[in-house]
Amino acid sequence: MKKDNKLYYDLLDQAFELMNSQLGTAYTRDAIDILLTDAKNGDRDIPKFLKKFSGGYEDYMLEPGYIEQIRSQLVIAKYACGIIARTDVDVDEPYRWRHMIIHDMCRLFLIGHEFEGGKNFYRTYCKGYAKSKIEDGQIYGGYSLWSEVAAEYLAQLVDTEMLTPTLEQNEEHAEWIVRDLKNGAFDVKECLEALLIDCLATQEVMFADSKEEAFEIIAEYGWLDTTYWKKLLNAVYDHLHAPEGKFWEIDIEFIKSIGSYYLGIRAELMMERIGQPIPSGDVDIEKYLRILGEFEDEEE
């Protein structure tokens, strides 16, 4: 690219410095391949960049227009990792651009610390482990949802040079997400990720004296009020605030529970759209997701 990227490399160095000082890591630009690109050049730059990461990306990332779907993207292969970062977002607010990079670096940190010995959860459980389509939906959906929320929660702790947002600041965005969910949002998982972040990665909730205090504050906003949303919110909060502090450590049962609540919310939203009352207890998740066409009946 012809533009001067000095500003962005300075911001990258700041991001690495914050990560290393807060988490005791040793990240540098020499160890992580960085692609700086924009909407104009992404279709050309991204396929060439991804050639370095065999097995570390999905085919849709090579398609024209992929750049429009992202702000930044962490890419991990067996022996290499990199970040695709757009230089045409947050151009007037450099600290937000730096936070975007910190978020991706936190994803990298989490992936390396999910299990003792650096075992990779995604490769272990998200490909070929599940015995049914429902279980696969639980694991893949639960892991994807958890990893985004955990990364942003950690990024808020790491990025001491940016103020953590408040619930009031997030209110308009959260209300828009809830409307989108109730109107049949295309990507429910991404909406729930954003809504959990709007709730949990905030000053009032992160630094509340107790869970009771945090949830009383969240309840004042009343953004979503269903059985499975409450279960999801409780489970994610409890794990983020685990007494031992290492919230990045996960296991398959935890992720399956998150995924089950995610699928439950999808069923609840469908019931609401077709005019059925949402029960106060559990619902038949498989029944409603099959109506949605998510899962065909499986042979015994």
**pLDDT score recorded for residue 296:** 45
CA distances from residue 51 to 57, 75, 118 in whole angstroms, order as listed: 10, 11, 25
Q: Where are the domains of the chain?
A: 1-113, 116-300
Round the average pLDDT of the chain to a whole number and report it.
89
Cβ-defined contacts of 277-285 (< 8 Å, 24+): 278/226, 278/227, 279/227, 280/227, 281/227, 282/227, 283/227, 283/228, 285/134, 285/260
Looking at per-residue pLDDT, the higher value among 293 and 194 belongs to 194
What would the mean pLDDT of 12-19 be, rounded to a whole number?
96
Query: Rounded to 10 degrees, what is the CA torsion of 115, 138, 228, 238?
Result: 0
pLDDT tens, position by position, 213-249:
999 999 999 888 888 999 999 999 999 998 877 899 9
**Spatial contact of 66 and 75, defined as CB atoms under 8 Å apart:** no
Calculate the CA 146 to chain-centre distance. 6
**What letter would DSSP give residue 60?**
G
**pLDDT score recorded for residue 293:** 59
E strands present in the chain: 33-37, 72-76, 81-86
Q: How confident is the model at residue 298 (pLDDT cuts 50, 70, 90)?
A: very low
Query: Rounded to 10 degrees, what is the CA torsion of 56, 58, 64, 70?
Result: -80
pLDDT tens, position by position, 266-276:
888 887 887 77
Helix, strand, or coil (residue 72): strand
* List of residues 6+ apart from 105 with CB closer than 8 A: 15, 16, 19, 27, 83, 155
Q: How confident is the model at residue 297 (pLDDT cuts 50, 70, 90)?
A: very low
Q: Does the global pTM surpass 0.85?
A: yes
Q: Is the pLDDT of residue 2 over 60?
A: no
Q: Is the pLDDT of residue 150 over 60?
A: yes
What would the mean pLDDT of 289-294 be, rounded to a whole number?
60
CA dist., res. 7 & res. 289, Å (int): 47
CA dist., res. 190 & res. 144, Å (int): 9
Beta partners for 83?
A: 34, 74
**pLDDT score recorded for residue 116:** 67
CA dist., res. 4 & res. 10, Å (int): 12
Name which of 11-25, 139-153, 272-286 the model is least confident about.
272-286
Q: How confident is the model at residue 117 (pLDDT cuts 50, 70, 90)?
A: low
CA atoms within 13 A on the CB side of 90: 17
CA dist., res. 138 & res. 123, Å (int): 15
